[in-house]
Amino acid sequence: MNWLKWLSGLPLGIFAVAVCMQACGTSGQSGENELTGELAQGRDAAQRHCSTCHLPVDPALLDKDTWKNRVLPVMAQYFGIEVWQRNQYFAGERAAMPIAEWMQIVAYYDSLAPVSLPAARPTVPVCEEWAGFSLKTPATDTSRIATTTLVAIDSARSTIYTSSSETPSLMAWNTAMTKTMKAPLSSPAMHMLFEDEPVLTVVGEMRAYDVTQGELRRFKRSGANDPKPLITGLRRPLHTAAADFNRDGKTDYVVSAFGHNQGGLYEFRQLNDGKFEQIPIREAAGATQSYTGDFDGDGWPDIIALFAHAQEGIWLFTNDRKGGFSEKPLLRFPPVYGSSSFQLTDFNGDGLPDILYTAGDNSDYSRILKPYHGIYIYLNKGDFRLEQSWFFPVNGATKAISVDFDGDGDPDIACVAFFADLLRNPGEKFLYLRNEGGNGLKFQPFSPPIAGQGRWICMDVNDWNGDGRPDIVLGNYSKGFLNQEEVKADWNVYLPFIILQNETHSANAH
């Protein structure tokens, strides 16, 4: 849920992302290897000044207007270049390059960027039907707009937990869709790790400040309605995973602290007195989500984590058995991709974990629809040599979860898209992609008629009602963040969440 990188006090909550976010580089898509003269000089200057911040960004990945009037004027300021009326530049005393060199960079992007990007077009027609799900909703409270930041299904107790940014608290809902608990929090919860006593990841500060107000809180399901602090002083944490990294019999935690300009992935090793020692694993802003497991087969728990800020990508951190980790990048992405989530799933039944990945965060300087936003599958060819094997375009894809929803033995996919094309294709806010089986990766996409119920930013999947089938809960965030100026909210802005109850009755659903 790297959407936190764009929450702030600016209009519509958009804030400036990190330095060198998306200004420069090469990737071969615009034929720039054949450039000569000033354009070749601009290409080389862009790569020279910005390549340490992120992967190359080809001019073709954004349109001409976005480069010229949004991205480049902001980037100029980070190099000490003064900007007047958006596209007139002057070299200040602290300029990192001569003005002539900066103007070569501007000419490079302005000349090679397209006038507009092509529209995303699904390769398989989307069916507008329920596809085996039914809708369940709680009562609507019209006194406040929904700003849900967390939805989590506690399958063991048939309970749904939610949190929101408007009134930070943890709320519990039973199968009658009745609120059974409201426990106050210091700030919104973003993730819930289910253990004997669940652990909440509480963000601390939703705006883009590098403050250390985030925390982990332990929640006792029975009795107390006040989650107690477990670990404090975190920089805007989004996610927590657990493992016994040093095999001493005590649970350790790995926290993805997104931060803003600061942040990172941290192990919190549990000591004999119950306190925790903080161990940096990779200190870089943008840590979003992680999984733990023995990924190299040596009997020691490792970590795979997503970073979604400037240096976007997925990294493997192998336990060195000495209290640390060795680092290996598995996938890297240009910063305009807007990495938003990933999951480990075996899609082809070979026993190796593949990667389901979404790109779609779209609230930085380039808030336009992008045809490369969507759902990706990378198949593991062995030793985490990953190959992109499937892509389905979804504007603003935020999170995808793969589960066998229809009971036929193969993994299906549910996806939410907060930055969907709300003007022309609001149905892509939620898509269910049913695995058709057979050879290859073949999915039939469905868009259940729920576009009028909310705008989904978070999702969880588990058996909500105890019938043995995985259900889906979607969290509604309806305050601000409209990239398309023509859009007016035509959905229920008050409903905090909905449930898509799985009604599939047989394993031969197709």
In our burial notation (b when 16+ CB lie closer than 10 A, e otherwise), range 184-208 reads: ebbbbbbbbbbeeebbbbbbbbbeb
Task: Provide mean pLDDT across the span 404-409.
Answer: 95
Q: What letter does residue 104 receive in the DSSP assignment?
A: H
Q: Is the dihedral of CA 48, 16, 367, 237 positive or negative?
A: positive
Q: Are 254 and 222 in contact, with CB atoms under 8 Å apart?
A: no
| pLDDT value, residue 141 | 87
Rounded to 10 degrees, the C-alpha dihedral 359/364/366/372 comes to: 0
Average pLDDT over residues 324-340: 96
pLDDT band at 26 (very low <50, low <70, confident <90, very high): very low
Question: Which of 22-36, 145-159, 262-276, 429-443 comes out lowest in average pLDDT?
Answer: 22-36
Which DSSP helix (H) or strand (E) runs through 173? strand 169-173
- Point out the least confidently predicted range of 8-12, 211-215, 293-297, 403-407: 8-12
* Bridge partners (DSSP) listed for residue 181: 172
> At 5, is the pLDDT very low, low, confident or very high (cuts 50, 70, 90)?
low
Strand runs labelled E in 35-147? 81-84, 88-91, 133-136
Does the predicted TM-score (pTM) go above 0.95?
no
The residue-averaged pLDDT of 80-107 equals 90
Class of residue 484 by CB neighbours under 10 A (exposed 0-12, middle 13-18, buried 19+):
middle
Distance CA 334, CA 138 (A): 40
pLDDT at 507 > cutoff 60: no
pLDDT band at residue 12 under the 50/70/90 scheme: very low
Which one-letter amino acid corresponds to residue 438?
Answer: G
Q: Return the structure tokens found at 349.
A: 């039944």
DSSP-H helix ranges across 351-510: none
Alpha-carbon distance 228 to 457, whole Å? 27
Per-residue pLDDT, averaged over 374-383, amounts to 98
Q: How many helices (H) and strands (E) are present in the chain, helices listed first?
A: 4, 30
Segment 71-99 mean pLDDT: 89
Amino acid identity of residue 382, one-letter, is G
Q: Other C-beta atoms within 10 Å of 311: how many?
A: 21
Q: What confidence category does residue 32 fall into, taking pLDDT thresholds of 50, 70 and 90? A: low
Q: What is the side-by-side order of every strand in the sheet holding 148-154?
A: 148-154, 159-164, 169-173, 179-184
Mean pLDDT of the chain: 90
pLDDT (average), residues 74-86: 87
Q: pLDDT, tens digit, for every residue of 179-233?
A: 999 999 999 999 999 998 999 999 999 988 999 999 999 988 765 567 899 999 9
How confident is the model over 421-472, as pLDDT tens digits?
999 999 999 999 999 987 789 999 999 999 999 999 999 999 999 999 999 9
Locate 9 and state its tokens: 């006090």
Whether the CB-CB separation of 380 and 353 falls below 8 Å is answered with yes
Specify whether the CB–CB gap between 195 and 217 falls below 8 A: no
- Sheet containing strand 199-202, edge to edge, reads 189-193, 199-202, 214-218, 228-234
> How far apart, in whole angstroms, are the C-alpha atoms of residue 462 and residue 301?
25
Phi, psi at residue 432, to the nearest 5°?
-110, 125
The predicted structure's pLDDT at residue 310: 82
| Residue the block writes with tokens 């990172």 | 264
Mean pLDDT in residue range 129-152: 95
Q: What is the pLDDT of residue 50?
A: 76
pLDDT of 450 reads 98
71: DSSP letter: I
Per-residue confidence band for 505, with pLDDT thresholds at 50, 70 and 90: low
List beta partners, residue 354: 345
Residue ranges with strand state E in 258-396: 264-270, 276-282, 287-293, 302-307, 312-319, 325-333, 339-345, 354-359, 374-380, 386-393
Checking 95-100 for CB contacts under 8 A at 24+ apart, the result is: 96/49, 97/45, 97/49
Cβ within 8 Å of residue 48, ≥6 positions away: none
Identify the band that residue 40 occupies on the pLDDT scale cut at 50, 70 and 90. Answer: very high
Q: Which residue has the higher pLDDT, 91 or 356?
A: 356
Between residues 50 and 256, the one the model is more confident about = 256
- The answer to whether the beta carbons of residues 316 and 294 sit under 8 Å apart is no
Integer Cα distance of 124 and 382 in angstroms:
29
- What does DSSP assign to residue 337? G
Nearest to 322 by CA among 291, 355, 300: 300
Q: Residue 249 class from Cβ within 10 Å (0-12 exposed, 13-18 middle, 19+ buried)? A: exposed
Residue 305 amino acid letter: A
Q: Is 151 in contact with 473 (CB distance < 8 Å)?
A: yes
pLDDT at 14: 26
**Which segments of 212-275 are extended strands (E)?**
214-218, 228-234, 237-243, 252-257, 264-270
Tokens of 140: 């609507």
Burial of 252 (0-12, 13-18, 19+ CB in 10 A): buried
Q: At 406, is the secondary structure helix, strand, or coil?
A: coil
pLDDT cut 90: percent of the chain above it: 77
Query: Which of the 8 DSSP states describes residue 4?
Result: G
